[in-house]
Structure 1
Amino acid sequence: MLDLLIHNASLADGRRQMMVAIENGRIAALQENPQRLPAARETVDAGGYLLSTPFIDAHFHLDATLSLGLPRLNQSGTLLEGIKLWGELKPQLTEQALIERSLAYCDWAIARGLLAIRSHVDVCDARLLAVRALLKVREQVAPYLNLQLVAFPQDGLLRSKGALDNLKQALDLGVDVIGGIPHFERTMEEGAQSLRLLCELAAERGLPLDIHCDESDDPNSRHIETLCFYTQQLGLQGKVTASHLTSMHSMDNYYVSKLIPLMVEAGISVIANPLINITLQGRHDSYPKRRGMTRVPELLAAGVPVAFGQDCCMDPWYSLGSADMLDVAHMGLHVAQMTSRAAMRQCFAAVSETPAKILGLNDWGLTTGQCAHLVLLQAADPIEALRLRPARLKVWRSGKLIASQSEACSSLNLPGRPDRVDFHR
């Protein structure tokens, strides 16, 4: 007898009236509804709603989350004031407070059907307090959420005294990925040097790289070119991610026509952060005012994998957020003007299928044999999910229900009109 049977489900690829059979935490069968359903300990009628793999946040800062107002608010709303604020807050951090805020955010994530997060963690504090705290969080949430940690020298690998040693120590403690921020070094030359050191370290340790790269409005911030060079030189193809890349928004088309093929050759993946990029970039512009998000449609057209990240939630950089990756995809769709049916589906994939590949989650997907990590949304398809950001009716981890929500609707009391509205067409 099956453990769980889900039927009458719609899938993100357009298939409808589908049945998913789950046994021992894995997908045992995926097919059209048969005339007679097999026996199962629990049967769920999806009612034609969308059954998807869970959402994935490919770029986040869990060490800073829910710290809004500590030690004060970001009055200018700029990236640089946020970094300054974080520097003021670091000496006041305690391990227990970090753990509590991180776990609270993970609770939000589960409720939203967000079951994997890649979080950057600052290593420029010699105590490595945030690293030790998030390693404990990673262990605690492991039964229900994949948490990857990136050793991130927030204040610059070379600019911050001891950052390289701290980063290596963080890796020794068990951090998963190597991070960097070349555009925040003192000079372009030191930025390039930091990338060489980080790429050499990745090759030496056999670890992936995820670099905050060219998060700037300056079209001459071209560290992505250097990252491509060292990726190829050291044989790191397929292991390197460039996050943000906002300077590409300001580059001329001729240079980008050279740059994107270099990225393809190097096997670079990209993570854009629509909520934060559109909020922090273009701050020095009057009008016309730049949007700031990287060139998502052009990168996708060239075959570069592009995922979306939440980046920040109620922290020194961003006062909003609620762990809803459909909010992120919704903003990405609008900023990049990705309004064709195919492009909107790409935006849904940017918070589900694509980041699974970037993060190396090989046991993740809606195919037979994969772990039964699933979310049932109150929407008919990915485009309706982006429009409504609907209720996550059920969230399963390895076939076990870990979160649920009632269907959302509003009651009406109008003569001659329906008594309820659920916003579905």
Structure 2
Amino acid sequence: MLEQIISNVRVMGHHPLKDVGVADGKVVFVENSGAAKEWTANAVVNGEGGVLLPGLVEPHIHLEKAYLLTRMEKEAESLQDAIRMTADMKKIFTRSDMRERSLQVIKEAVRNGVTHMRCHAEVDPILGLSAIESALELKQSVRHLLDLQVVAFPQEGIFKSPGTAELMEEAIHLGCDVVGGITYQDPDLNEHLKFVFELAGKYNKPLDFHADFSDKPEDLAIVQIAKRTMQYGLQGRVSAGHVTSLGSLARVEAEAAAELLSEAGIHIITLPATDLYINGRGDEEKPRRGLTPVKLLQEKGVNVAIGMNNVQNPFTPFGKADPLETAWLLAVTAYLGGERDASRLLGMLTESASRVLALEGYGIREGAPADMVLFRERTERDVLLHKSETRTVWKRGVMVADTRIEREREIVHHMKDRGEDHR
């Protein structure tokens, strides 16, 4: 007996409608609709021709820094402004405060279809290990909703903030999954890279950087990261968010950098909501978009995923925990408006992001964990264009969210009330 069957759905990479069977938290079969009639299930969900995706993967987010707008005395006018303002606000963060705001983000993300997430929790003399401890506690308490990876992230720099190096190692001992780095805080890049690469090697952890967050073509720490990745034999285990300076390079130079990143197996996470807001401010004429060159990187074989980064704080004073909203923004600003582009963007929220997190068995296929999100739209392009809030989400085969928005019915009733229904 199956736990459930999700019938009549469109699965990425498959043209006929499919039925997906689930038992013991895993996908048992993916068959053409109607072909699995011999199976019985405790529940059947009719997808009505909608798109069924693997659970969305959020590869780069800051939980304890979310929802800070009401605490800001002014708006950030630069990246360093945002860092300074947040550092000041961190001084009054409490464990319960961080947990409450983090949980608000997680719940919204789950409602929107996220089943896996990687968060960057800050390690510094201001917070000590409190953000790390809060994130690790959440990792356990929300595991029935999503799988959470925790990055030990030195936002204030490692050597710029004495004591951070010791805290970073202690954070790994506490159970952090990933070693974080930031290329634009410490004055000596080589010293910073040497420390984080050796820490990752010592504890066999992957690395995840905030790198080259600028529109200055000379900011190319990502090249040094790629070279060290190959030197340490960490191909495929190193990620970098932002990397926006690549978008300011001449084409031939950007191509060479992209080829090196592909060779090193570096994963790039574009963060358009933040990158577009912060970058390009110094250009009085012909302002740059401030994005990493997504199309070029993908052409050269680099794995590129999409991340939300921040939710309503000095770095990103808008947004919500919905990966589709971020993908839609990237579509508009990176010229990804075609039908094939829609599939590419959804792939960046799913398969590409799953590679960043090194998820095993990810996807809608036999034997994979039944982490899925169902949209009622009939095409992948419509999923992206409509960003419908009507979504059903499963985590290991258990329905954890089911949001239905009956907009058409509400509009009809409104028109009737005003005497405008002329059908």
Q: TM-score, normalised by structure 2?
A: 0.94
Cα displacement string for residues 2-42 of structure 1 (whole angstroms, at most 9, x for unaligned residues): 11011111112242321001111111110101256321110
CA contact (8 A) 1:77 1:317 kept: no
Q: After the TM superposition, which residues 367-406 of structure 1 pair with which residues of structure 2 at under 5 Å, given as runs? A: 367-406=365-404
Q: What corresponds to 2:102 in structure 1?
A: 102
Q: What corresponds to 1:122 in structure 2?
A: 122
Q: What corresponds to 1:69 in structure 2?
A: 70
**Cα displacement (A) at 1:102:** 0.9
CA contact (8 A) 2:374 2:393 kept: yes
Cα distance in structure 2, aligned partners of 1:130 and 1:327 = 27
Cα displacement string for residues 259-288 of structure 1 (whole angstroms, at most 9, x for unaligned residues): 111111111110000111111110111221
Cα distance in structure 1, aligned partners of 2:69 and 2:220 = 32
Cα displacement string for residues 192-223 of structure 1 (whole angstroms, at most 9, x for unaligned residues): 32112211221221100000010011110010
Q: How many residues are treated as equivalent by the alignment?
A: 415
Q: What corresponds to 1:263 in structure 2?
A: 261
1:369 maps to a residue whose letter is G
1:218 maps to a residue whose letter is K
1:289 to 277, 287, 290: 287
Q: What corresponds to 1:339 in structure 2?
A: 337
2:137 maps to a residue whose letter is K
CA contact (8 A) 2:125 2:161 kept: no
**Cα displacement (A) at 1:337:** 0.6
1:321 to 306, 319, 322: 319
CA contact (8 A) 2:244 2:290 kept: yes
Q: What corresponds to 1:422 in structure 2?
A: none
Q: What corresponds to 2:57 in structure 1?
A: 56
Matched, 1:178 2:179: yes
Q: What corresponds to 2:136 in structure 1?
A: 135
Q: What corresponds to 1:147 in structure 2?
A: 148
Cα distance in structure 2, aligned partners of 1:2 and 1:274 = 41
Cα distance in structure 2, aligned partners of 1:308 and 1:369 = 26
Cα distance in structure 1, aligned partners of 2:36 and 2:294 = 45
Matched, 1:213 2:211: yes
Cα distance in structure 1, aligned partners of 2:124 and 2:392 = 40
1:249 to 247, 250, 257: 247
Cα distance in structure 1, aligned partners of 2:161 and 2:119 = 21
Q: TM-score, normalised by structure 1?
A: 0.94
> Residue 347 of structure 1: SS of its match in structure 2?
helix
CA contact (8 A) 2:255 2:300 kept: no
Q: What corresponds to 1:196 in structure 2?
A: 194
2:159 maps to a residue whose letter is L
**Cα displacement (A) at 1:111:** 0.9
> Residue 183 of structure 1: SS of its match in structure 2?
coil
1:299 to 266, 284, 297: 297
Call closer, same or farther: CA 1:27–1:3 in 2, change over 3 Å: same
> Residue 324 of structure 2: SS of its match in structure 1?
helix
Cα displacement string for residues 291-321 of structure 1 (whole angstroms, at most 9, x for unaligned residues): 0010100111111110000000012222212
**RMSD, matched Cα:** 1.7
1:45 maps to a residue whose letter is N
Cα distance in structure 2, aligned partners of 1:416 and 1:243 = 50
Q: What corresponds to 2:24 in structure 1?
A: 24
Q: What corresponds to 1:423 in structure 2?
A: none
Between the aligned residues of both structures, percent identity stands at 28
Cα displacement string for residues 359-402 of structure 1 (whole angstroms, at most 9, x for unaligned residues): 01113210000111111112112211110001243111111111
**Cα displacement (A) at 1:106:** 1.1
> Residue 318 of structure 2: SS of its match in structure 1?
coil
**Cα displacement (A) at 1:104:** 1.6
Cα distance in structure 2, aligned partners of 1:307 and 1:372 = 22
Call closer, same or farther: CA 1:85–1:369 in 2, change over 3 Å: same
Gaps of 5+ in 1: 420-425
1:385 maps to a residue whose letter is V
Cα distance in structure 2, aligned partners of 1:257 and 1:321 = 32
Call closer, same or farther: CA 1:34–1:255 in 2, change over 3 Å: same
Call closer, same or farther: CA 1:408–1:248 in 2, change over 3 Å: farther
Call closer, same or farther: CA 1:74–1:151 in 2, change over 3 Å: farther
> Residue 202 of structure 2: SS of its match in structure 1?
helix
CA contact (8 A) 1:53 1:375 kept: yes
CA contact (8 A) 1:64 1:316 kept: no
**Cα displacement (A) at 1:418:** 7.9
Cα distance in structure 2, aligned partners of 1:135 and 1:36 = 41
Cα distance in structure 2, aligned partners of 1:258 and 1:207 = 28
Cα displacement string for residues 40-99 of structure 1 (whole angstroms, at most 9, x for unaligned residues): 1101110001111111111100111122232x2442443221101111012111111111
**Cα displacement (A) at 1:123:** 0.4
CA contact (8 A) 2:5 2:45 kept: yes
Deviates more, 1:385-394 or 1:18-27: 385-394
CA contact (8 A) 2:155 2:182 kept: yes
Call closer, same or farther: CA 1:35–1:122 in 2, change over 3 Å: closer
Cα distance in structure 1, aligned partners of 2:275 and 2:353 = 18
Q: What corresponds to 1:9 in structure 2?
A: 9
Q: What corresponds to 1:88 in structure 2?
A: 88
Call closer, same or farther: CA 1:304–1:35 in 2, change over 3 Å: closer
1:288 maps to a residue whose letter is K
Call closer, same or farther: CA 1:315–1:219 in 2, change over 3 Å: same
> Residue 6 of structure 2: SS of its match in structure 1?
strand
Cα distance in structure 1, aligned partners of 2:156 and 2:36 = 61
Cα distance in structure 2, aligned partners of 1:263 and 1:406 = 42
1:51 maps to a residue whose letter is L
> Residue 70 of structure 2: SS of its match in structure 1?
coil
Cα distance in structure 2, aligned partners of 1:418 and 1:199 = 68
